């Protein structure tokens, strides 16, 4: 029997009491004046008046409690054939040393530090080192190119950048340093110092006066025992900024605070994920994404569990048994990844033959998030792994699950296609266009009744106005998730589609609007539209439709590959932008709006209706023909 209903009800009746009780699991330098100040910030601020330190709660606290010799972090890198682990005492020591180096480089409380690193243990150390001294980190995913990095440098204005000489994508070495150098060249703001971890696969050239060798500074600091203590910060002070896509080319700087974030993540470890201190929790994601922030770095360490940093892929490093090797070798209790990773494994090993080669009796639960978990993938994982498979729904903005199946409170019945029920803290309503809640099984915008729970974004970095416009203005008293869906008669939530231009490619959040801005920069492009089309493996893939300027007579194939290269150079390989089609015209309404929704329906082979407002219906036929020539619009033939 699940305790979910009782716990959710307890929260609903007394939210402040609920979160005050959860906050007891965190160590504070000073307790709060108010659990929530409803008048502060954009919709209220949690734990006002309290003082704390996130790194202290992740590290020193466990050492003091006797967990010093327990593994805190396991680094496993099939791409470099390396495995290493750090105990809580060792990780604390490494982090305290890096904090001291940051201080020496001029980083102080409230200063921003940009982290652009591959999936190595030092990436997590870098995040914790910032937290330790009250600096605000901003991690940028390695698959973003220089100009995306430059946009973030300009917005966050970091005092220092922490990076590595290269990343490794399966067998390909990607030099990071040239990308970083170009980004700093492009950006108006110039960080005063860069700390570069040299990796033997591609050593970087260091720029005198600005760049510092990570290993050398660490060795020098250790030689003299230089370490930094934990700096108390306000619970409401920022811990990090994580940029995410949406609506325009300018990414949104999602801000996370210290106090509420710790309270929420700590609550999820036993109650949602059913993990005990000392057990191994593996989020197979990347520190560049929110899942990596919450569940590679902070959540497991706040709980005294062991976390895993995996520098590899679900397939190809070396095979589709990579995840099972990890689970059996490191005695992983809970795995968390994106459905796309399982689709990739299933494609290579449909019968799950690799699974039989490993002892996976330690695995209790698989959690999936980042995109809609299609029932086929869930059923395959359930059948092959023989453990509960839990889909849960969240966003960069929330930092933790809005809806899920709380395993620690007792598993609720699974309904395929639904991430189950709202977590305590979230009252999820389905709203019509006017902001009125609709009944069961009726679609609308999924919205969260304000205030958002602890851990959710208090605002966007330096941009309260955009916070209000993007999330709070559409429906009074609510945060709009920009996800559309419905709730059924049992209160189960169904998340069906985004209401904005965001698409989800291999669990990575991308903006088609941003891609359009880049494609439009090509000298031969008159206008364009980018849509997300269904993809069996990655969930969605972007597809670009381009109208050329009058008089352009070059080889269309050449222009297409230039456009692909442009998006890769400006946004980065992560955009997975590979499909461009040159068309004569784009379908538009009489008022000139491109009919992207109908284009997507056609591309996905769904049934569609000719929009009443279309300017020229003949264009739909032209577009369909072009799509079919590229293997899209399969049901339309």
Residues that bind ligand COA (CB under 6 A): 142-143, 167, 169, 174, 284-286, 289, 291, 313-314, 337-338, 340-341, 344, 370, 505-508, 538, 573-574, 576
Q: Which of 373, 448, 531, 546 binds ligand AMP (CB under 6 A)?
A: 373
Strands 539-548 and 579-582, by their bridges, are: parallel
Residue 395: contacted member of ligand COA, ligand AMP, none (CB under 5 to 8 Å, by partner type): ligand AMP
Kindly provide the residue ranges of all beta strands, DSSP E only, lying in 38-155, ordered along the sequence: 45-48, 51-52, 71-77, 82-87, 112-116, 136-139
CA distances from 287 to 102, 124, 384 (A): 20, 8, 28
Residue 491: contacted member of ligand AMP, ligand COA, none (CB under 5 to 8 Å, by partner type): none
Strands 71-77 and 306-310, by their bridges, are: parallel
Residue 396: contacted member of ligand AMP, ligand COA, none (CB under 5 to 8 Å, by partner type): ligand AMP
Check binding of 495 to ligand AMP (CB under 6 A).
Answer: yes
Contact status, residue 150 vs residue 180, Cβ threshold 8 Å: no
Structure tokens given for 124? 């997590």
Q: Which of 299, 419, 539, 542 binds ligand AMP (CB under 6 A)?
A: 419
Q: Which residues pair with 584 in a beta bridge?
A: none
Q: How far apart are CA 526 and CA 520, in angstroms?
A: 7
Q: 104 or 349: whose CB is closer to ligand COA?
A: 349
Residue 174: contacted member of ligand AMP, ligand COA, none (CB under 5 to 8 Å, by partner type): ligand COA
Residue 500: contacted member of ligand COA, ligand AMP, none (CB under 5 to 8 Å, by partner type): none
Residue 143: contacted member of ligand COA, ligand AMP, none (CB under 5 to 8 Å, by partner type): ligand COA
Query: What's the closest the beta carbon of residue 394 comes to ligand COA, in angstroms?
Result: 10
Q: 371 or 501: whose CB is closer to ligand AMP?
A: 371
Q: How far apart are CA 218 and CA 300, in angstroms?
A: 25
Q: 218 or 533: whose CB is closer to ligand COA?
A: 533
Q: Which of 342, 393, 426, 486 binds ligand AMP (CB under 6 A)?
A: 393
Query: What's the closest the beta carbon of residue 139 comes to ligand AMP, in angstroms?
Result: 13
Contact status, residue 288 vs residue 506, Cβ threshold 8 Å: no
C-alpha count within 13 angstroms, C-beta hemisphere, residue 173: 13
Query: Which residues, in sequence order, are CB contacts of 579 under 8 Å at separation 6+?
Result: 533, 541, 542, 543, 544, 630
Q: Which of 45, 303, 392, 538 binds ligand AMP (CB under 6 A)?
A: 392
Residue 506: contacted member of ligand COA, ligand AMP, none (CB under 5 to 8 Å, by partner type): ligand COA
Q: 371 or 604: whose CB is closer to ligand AMP?
A: 371
Q: How far apart are CA 200 and CA 357, in angstroms?
A: 33
Helix or strand or coil: residue 563?
Answer: helix
Q: Which stretch binds ligand AMP (CB under 6 A): 43-51, 367-375, 551-559, 598-606?
A: 367-375
Q: How far apart are CA 403 and CA 412, in angstroms?
A: 12
**Residues 243 to 262: which contact ligand AMP by CB under 6 A?**
244
Check binding of 370 to ligand AMP (CB under 6 A).
Answer: yes
For the beta carbon of residue 213, count every other beta carbon within 10 angstroms: 17
Check binding of 600 to ligand AMP (CB under 6 A).
Answer: no
Q: 344 or 633: whose CB is closer to ligand COA?
A: 344
Q: 91 or 576: whose CB is closer to ligand COA?
A: 576
Query: What's the closest the beta carbon of residue 549 comes to ligand AMP, in angstroms?
Result: 35
Q: How far apart are CA 340 and CA 363, in angstroms?
A: 20
Helix or strand or coil: residue 472?
Answer: helix
Query: Which contacts (CB < 8 Å, 24+ apart) does range 467-475 have?
Result: 467/42, 468/42, 470/246, 470/247, 470/252, 471/397, 472/42, 472/43, 474/435, 474/445, 475/431, 475/435, 475/445, 475/447
Query: What's the closest the beta carbon of residue 373 comes to ligand AMP, in angstroms?
Result: 6
Query: What's the closest the beta carbon of residue 117 comes to ligand COA, in angstroms?
Result: 9
Q: Which residues pair with 541 in a beta bridge?
A: 533
Check binding of 372 to ligand AMP (CB under 6 A).
Answer: yes
Q: 159 or 457: whose CB is closer to ligand COA?
A: 457
Q: 174 or 581: whose CB is closer to ligand COA?
A: 174
Q: Which of 290, 302, 575, 620 binds ligand AMP (CB under 6 A)?
A: 290
Query: Which residues, in sequence order, are CB contacts of 64 under 8 Å at separation 6+?
Result: none
Q: Which secondary structure element, helix H or strand E, spans residue 233, and what is its range?
A: strand 233-234
Query: What's the closest the beta carbon of residue 269 comes to ligand COA, in angstroms?
Result: 18
Q: How far apart are CA 365 and CA 345, in angstroms?
A: 17
Which residue minimizes CB distance to ligand COA? 142
Q: Which of 293, 509, 538, 588 binds ligand AMP (CB under 6 A)?
A: 509
Query: What's the closest the beta carbon of residue 532 comes to ligand AMP, in angstroms?
Result: 11
Residue 337: contacted member of ligand AMP, ligand COA, none (CB under 5 to 8 Å, by partner type): ligand COA
Check binding of 263 to ligand AMP (CB under 6 A).
Answer: no
C-alpha count within 13 angstroms, C-beta hemisphere, residue 536: 5
Contact positions vs ligand AMP (CB under 6 A): 244, 290, 369-373, 391-396, 419, 481, 483, 495, 498, 504, 509
């Amino acid at each position: 029997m699940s305790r979910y209903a009782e716990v959710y009800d307890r929260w609903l009746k007394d939210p402040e009491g609920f979160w005050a009780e959860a906050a007891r699991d965190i160590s504070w330098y000073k307790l709060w004046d108010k659990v929530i100040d409803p008048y502060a910030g954009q919709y209220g601020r949690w734990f006002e008046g309290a003082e704390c330190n996130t790194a202290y709660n992740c590290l020193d606290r466990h050492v003091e409690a006797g967990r010093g010799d327990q593994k805190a972090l396991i680094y496993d890198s099939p791409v470099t054939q390396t495995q290493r682990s750090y105990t809580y005492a060792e990780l604390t020591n490494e982090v305290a040393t890096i904090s001291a180096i940051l201080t020496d480089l001029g980083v102080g409380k409230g200063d921003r530090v940009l982290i652009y690193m591959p999936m190595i243990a030092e990436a997590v150390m870098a995040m914790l080192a910032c937290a330790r001294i009250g600096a605000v980190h901003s991690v940028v995913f390695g698959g973003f190119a220089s100009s995306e990095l430059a946009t973030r440098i300009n917005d966050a204005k970091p005092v220092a950048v922490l990076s590595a000489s290269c990343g490794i994508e399966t067998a390909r070495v990607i030099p990071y340093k040239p990308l970083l150098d170009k980004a700093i060249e492009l950006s108006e703001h110039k960080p005063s110092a860069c700390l570069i971890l040299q990796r033997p696969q591609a050593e970087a050239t260091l720029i005198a006066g600005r760049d510092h060798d990570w290993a050398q500074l660490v060795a020098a600091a250790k030689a003299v025992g230089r370490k930094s203590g934990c700096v108390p910060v306000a619970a409401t002070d920022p811990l990090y900024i994580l940029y995410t896509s949406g609506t325009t080319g300018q990414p949104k700087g999602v801000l996370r605070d210290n106090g509420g974030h710790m309270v929420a993540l700590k609550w999820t470890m036993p109650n949602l994920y059913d993990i005990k201190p000392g057990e191994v929790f593996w989020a197979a994601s990347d520190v560049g994404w929110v899942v990596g922030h919450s569940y590679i770095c902070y959540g497991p360490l706040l709980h005294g569990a062991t976390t895993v940093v995996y520098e590899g892929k679900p397939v190809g490093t070396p095979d589709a048994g990579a995840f099972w090797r990890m689970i059996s070798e490191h005695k992983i209790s809970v795995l968390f990844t994106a459905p796309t990773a399982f689709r990739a494994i299933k494609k290579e090993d449909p019968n799950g033959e690799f699974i039989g080669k490993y002892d996976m009796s330690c695995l209790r639960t698989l959690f999936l998030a980042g995109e809609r978990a299609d029932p086929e993938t869930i059923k395959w994982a359930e059948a092959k792994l023989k453990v509960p498979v839990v889909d849960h729904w969240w966003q960069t903005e929330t930092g933790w699950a809005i809806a899920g199946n709380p395993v620690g409170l007792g598993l609720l019945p699974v309904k395929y296609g639904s991430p189950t029920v709202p977590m305590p803290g979230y009252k999820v309503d389905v709203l019509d266009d006017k902001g009125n809640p609709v009944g069961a099984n009726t679609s609308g915008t999924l919205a969260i009744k304000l205030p958002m729970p602890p851990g959710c974004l208090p605002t966007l970095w330096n941009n309260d106005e955009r916070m209000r416009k993007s999330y709070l203005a559409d429906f009074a008293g609510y945060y709009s998730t920009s996800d559309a869906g419905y709730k059924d008669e049992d209160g189960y939530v169904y998340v069906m589609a985004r209401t904005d231009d965001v698409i989800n490619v291999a669990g990575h959040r991308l903006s088609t609007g941003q891609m359009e801005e880049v494609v439009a920069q090509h000298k031969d492009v008159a206008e364009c539209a980018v849509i997300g089309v269904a993809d069996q493996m990655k969930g969605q893939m972007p597809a670009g439709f381009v109208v050329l300027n009058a008089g352009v007579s070059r080889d269309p194939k050449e222009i297409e590959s230039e456009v692909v290269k442009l998006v890769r150079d400006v946004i980065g390989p992560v955009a997975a932008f590979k499909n461009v089609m040159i068309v004569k015209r784009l379908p538009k309404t009489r008022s000139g709006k491109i009919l992207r929704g109908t284009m997507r329906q056609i591309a996905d082979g769904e049934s569609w209706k000719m929009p009443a407002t279309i300017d020229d219906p003949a264009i739909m036929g032209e577009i369909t023909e072009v799509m079919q020539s590229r293997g899209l619009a399969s049901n339309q033939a």
